[in-house]
Amino acid sequence: MAATLRDVAKLAGVSFKTVSNVINDYPHVRPATREKVERAIAELGYKPNLNARSLRSGRTDTVALAVPELNLSYFAELAGMVIAAAEESGLTVVVEQTGGDRDRELALLRSPRLSMTDGLILSPLGMGQEDAGALDVPFPLVLLGERTFDWPCDHVTMRNTEAARAATEYLLDSGRRRIAVIGEHEGEVMGSARLRLRGYREALAEHGVPYDPALVVRATLWHRADGARAMHELLDRDVPFDAVFGFNDTMALGAMRVLQEAGRRVPEDVAVIGFDDLDEAAYSIPSLTTVDPGREWLARTALGTLLERIAETGPKQPPRTELADFTIVERESAPRG
| From the list DNA, a copy of itself, none, partner contacted by residue 155 (C-beta under 5 to 8 A by kind) | none
Residues 6+ apart with CB under 8 A from 97: 66, 67, 68, 69, 70
Identity at 231, one-letter amino acid code:
M
- The end-to-end CA distance of the chain, in Å, is 69
> Which of 50, 190 has the CB closer to DNA?
50
> Which of 177, 257 has the CB closer to a copy of itself?
257
Cβ 220 to a copy of itself, closest distance in Å?
17
DSSP letter, residue 275: S
Cβ 154 to a copy of itself, closest distance in Å?
21
CB distance 319 to 309 below 8 Å: no
Is 329 near a copy of itself (CB under 8 A)?
no
Is 17 near DNA (CB under 7 A)?
yes
285 to 324: interface string for DNA, x by CB under 7 A? ----------------------------------------
Please tell me the distance from the alpha carbon of residue 83 to that of residue 64, in angstroms, as a whole number: 10
12: nearest Cα among 39, 42, 45: 39
Please tell me the distance from the alpha carbon of residue 51 to that of residue 328, in angstroms, as a whole number: 46
Interacting residue with a copy of itself among 38, 96, 101, 269 (CB under 8 A): 96
| From the list DNA, a copy of itself, none, partner contacted by residue 220 (C-beta under 5 to 8 A by kind) | none
Is 128 near a copy of itself (CB under 8 A)?
no
Please tell me the distance from the alpha carbon of residue 106 to that of residue 46, in angstroms, as a whole number: 40
Question: b/e for 61-76, b at 16 or more Cβ within 10 A?
Answer: bbbbbbbbeeebbbbb
Strand partners, 156: 144, 322
Interacting residue with DNA among 39, 42, 43, 55 (CB under 7 A): 55
Is 188 near a copy of itself (CB under 8 A)?
no
Is 39 near DNA (CB under 7 A)?
no
Interacting residue with DNA among 10, 11, 25, 29 (CB under 7 A): 29
The residue range among 147-155, 175-183, 235-243, 278-286 that interacts with a copy of itself, by the rule CB under 8 A, is: 278-286
Is 48 near DNA (CB under 7 A)?
yes
Cβ 177 to a copy of itself, closest distance in Å?
26
Triad 161, 279, 241: Cα angle to 5°: 50
Triad 324, 169, 259: Cα angle to 5°: 100
Interacting residue with a copy of itself among 43, 103, 279, 312 (CB under 8 A): 279
| From the list a copy of itself, DNA, none, partner contacted by residue 20 (C-beta under 5 to 8 A by kind) | DNA
Please tell me the distance from the alpha carbon of residue 39 to that of residue 26, in angstroms, as a whole number: 17
Q: How many residues bind a copy of itself (CB under 8 A)?
A: 49
Lay out the sheet containing 179-184: strands in order across.
Answer: 216-218, 179-184, 243-246, 271-273
- For β-strands 179-184 and 243-246, DSSP reports them as parallel
Is 218 near DNA (CB under 7 A)?
no
| From the list a copy of itself, DNA, none, partner contacted by residue 113 (C-beta under 5 to 8 A by kind) | a copy of itself
> Which of 20, 260 has the CB closer to DNA?
20
Residues comprising the chain, all counted: 337
Q: Which residues bind a copy of itself (CB under 8 A)?
A: 2, 47-52, 54-55, 60, 62, 69-71, 73, 76-77, 79-80, 83-84, 87, 92-97, 110, 112-113, 115-116, 138, 223-224, 228, 253-254, 256-257, 260, 279-280, 282-285, 287
